[in-house]
Amino acid sequence: MEEPDKDHVDKILAQWRRERPELDVAAMGLLGRLGRLRAHIAREQETVFAKYELTSASFDVLATLRRSGSPFQLSPGELLAATMVTSGTMTNRIDQLEKAGLVKRLDNPEDRRGVIIALTPEGRQRIDAAVTAHVANQQRLVAGLESEERNALNALLRKFLATFE
């Protein structure tokens, strides 16, 4: 039986310490936990998104458009910058969302060769419902931490993320 406050990563670290005691595996523990948390959280989020016939990818595009404010339109380049995916991936996401009637392509009035991606009324309704459920799910997922712990973890993660961004 596992000790209280021990997790799967502790078992892995103990095995490495036994087999390679000269290695400092502290960073492995931190990054391993972040990776495992990311996988658990992603599964929980996908479950919520599926209730709205969305995936994390489609949610990301719709949410980016929604939070951009009225008229809920962005160029494909602006969507790319906000979502950090390749142009081919974004084109595929937009194609799928357009087929589902959640976004539409409009002529870009500032660039006759370009388009603007806009939320449709159905897309706005879907993302508004999904983001409400998503926020409630996120609150549920962090409920095991006290408010002070969430604040401290958030501050540390912000600092760590800043080293990459």
Q: Give per-residue pLDDT as tens, 54-101.
A: 999 999 999 999 999 999 999 988 999 898 888 889 999 999 999 999
Secondary structure letter of residue 72 according to DSSP:
-
Q: Give the pTM.
A: 0.87
Whether residues 16 and 83 share a domain: the answer is no
Whether residues 79 and 130 share a domain: the answer is yes
Whether residues 38 and 74 share a domain: the answer is no
Number of domains in the chain: 2
For 11-163, strand residue ranges (E) read: 73-74, 103-107, 115-119
How is residue 56 written in tokens?
A: 């994390």
Whether residues 29 and 106 share a domain: the answer is no
